[in-house]
A and B are shown apart, each in its own frame.
Chain A
Amino acid sequence: MATQQEILSGLADIVNEVAGVPVADVQLDKSFVDDLDIDSLSMVEVVVAAEEKFDVKIPDDDVKGLKTVGDAVSYIAAAGA
């Protein structure tokens, strides 16, 4: 079971890889769209990479609810990562 910090760190690496956002900028309170400039298509790339990394499923319908990095970290933790 990954800790919240481990999930955040892994997610930051993914966001950096997909969108070139500096790892340090990926914080729990940051909005994907407004703060990190991740659009809907980049978000799909982030989500699929996260699915592979944390071995969880994040259906398209649930992606819309992931507004902040914290939302994603909580979702991944609850999904069993």
Chain B
Amino acid sequence: MTGAPTFKTAQGAPYARMLGVGGYRPARVIPNSEIVDRIDSSDEWIRERSGIQTRHAAAADESVIDMALVASEKALANAGVTADQLGCVIVATVTHLMQTPSAAAVLGHRLGTTKAAAFDISAACAGFCHALALANDMIRGGSAEYVLIVGVEKLSDMVDPYDRGSAFIFGDGAGAAVVGPSDVPGIGPVVWGADGGQANAITQDVPWHTLRDDPTHKFPTLSMNGQQVFRWAVFQMAPVCQEALDRAGVRADQLDAFIPHQANLRIVEAMVKKIGLPDNVAVARDIVDTGNTSAASVPLAMERLLDNGEAPHGGTALLIGFGAGLSFAAQVVTLP
């Protein structure tokens, strides 16, 4: 009788980092003036409560996979990586309205991957930072050499245009990053978690099968308790930011950029104050003309800071995603 065989395990790279980022904003721009009548509001009210002036909306026949494809091709080109080098594709989304197969599998095929695993994750507005944490661990664990991570949402499919609490907040878009091996640290320890006790704070109002049971029921939409989310985001997430800095051994004054999920400009400003960020740290305020694009907001904001020269390639940034779940993830990164 022989004992259990000793088998080999995967060996990964010493570290991982983002190599390139790419974004996609749909062509149609929706100003506040197009929304205010439906929710009995005003441009001024929306700007004061959220900072949002415009957001983008995908075309009716434009899917999350279509949007993800454009962002992914840009990210691959910026990274100098080809689709056939990818070992995994992860799509973070809550608005891929096809239950199965995953958006990631179809996206990988359209990109021309040849050996990539592919799957979607559901972590809402925290999705991109979750995917980044997974990619980091995969590369360091030897499960993949290059990983494509995408945050993409077509929230216009899921928002009630008459809901005063959310109709003005959300936008459509996609952001992608290629993560690959590195000889030096490029992604700090993730600080993440979830509080299902607050599942009701941001939620689809009814499950899909409501439509099966009652075909006259309205299409499911998102609902959000703005004050509950604001309280949680500002007062619970600032300490998460600090913990991500502490675990990476980075001080706030060593950051080049702070790229929080673009939930609401008021949340961004309150977080900056709570964390005590010095003035010289560039803060992402992409929400002003992009709206809240959930999983896509962090990579879209990152791409813009880099393109505008507000943050340097190779600079150090703090990322945090937070949203429905409630779920959150934060990490210090080297910008691609």
Binding site for B on A (CB under 8 A): 39-41, 43-45, 47-48, 60, 63
Contact = CB atoms under 8 A, between A and B. Distances in A.
6 contacts: A39-B49, A40-B227, A41-B266, A44-B234, A60-B227, A60-B228
Contacts of B231: 44, 47-48, 60
Contacts of B264: 41
B235 interface: yes
B205 interface: no
Q: Which of A40, A41, A47 has the most CB of B within 10 A?
A: A41
Contacts of A40: 49, 226-227
Given A40-B49, A41-B227, A47-B231, 14 more contacts: A39-B48, A39-B49, A40-B226, A41-B49, A41-B226, A41-B264, A44-B230, A44-B231, A44-B234, A45-B270, A48-B231, A60-B228, A60-B231, A63-B227
B51 to A, nearest CB: 11
Contacts of A44: 227, 230-231, 234
Contacts of A43: 227
Interface in B217-250: 225-228, 230-231, 234-235
A62 B230 CA distance: 16
Contacts of B270: 45
A44 B274 CA distance: 14
B258 to A, nearest CB: 19
Q: A-B pairs with the 9 shortest C-beta distances?
A: A44-B231, A44-B230, A41-B266, A48-B235, A41-B230, A44-B227, A60-B228, A60-B227, A40-B227
A53 B234 CA distance: 17
Contacts of A48: 231, 234-235
A48 B234 CA distance: 10
Q: Which of A40, A45, A63 has the most CB of B within 10 A?
A: A45
Contacts of B234: 44-45, 48
B224 to A, nearest CB: 13
A44 B264 CA distance: 14
Contacts of B48: 39
Contacts of B266: 41
Interface in B36-74: 48-49
A63 B227 CA distance: 10
Contacts of B228: 60
Nearest to B267: A41
A64 to B, nearest CB: 9
Nearest to A52: B235
A48 B270 CA distance: 12
A78 B230 CA distance: 26
A39 B48 CA distance: 9
A15 B227 CA distance: 17
A39 to B, nearest CB: 7
A51 B227 CA distance: 16
A41 B228 CA distance: 10
Nearest to B228: A60
Contacts of B226: 40-41
A51 to B, nearest CB: 9
A48 B233 CA distance: 12
Q: Which of B228, B231, B235, B264 has the most CB of A within 10 A?
A: B231
B218 to A, nearest CB: 26
Contacts of A47: 231
A43 to B, nearest CB: 8
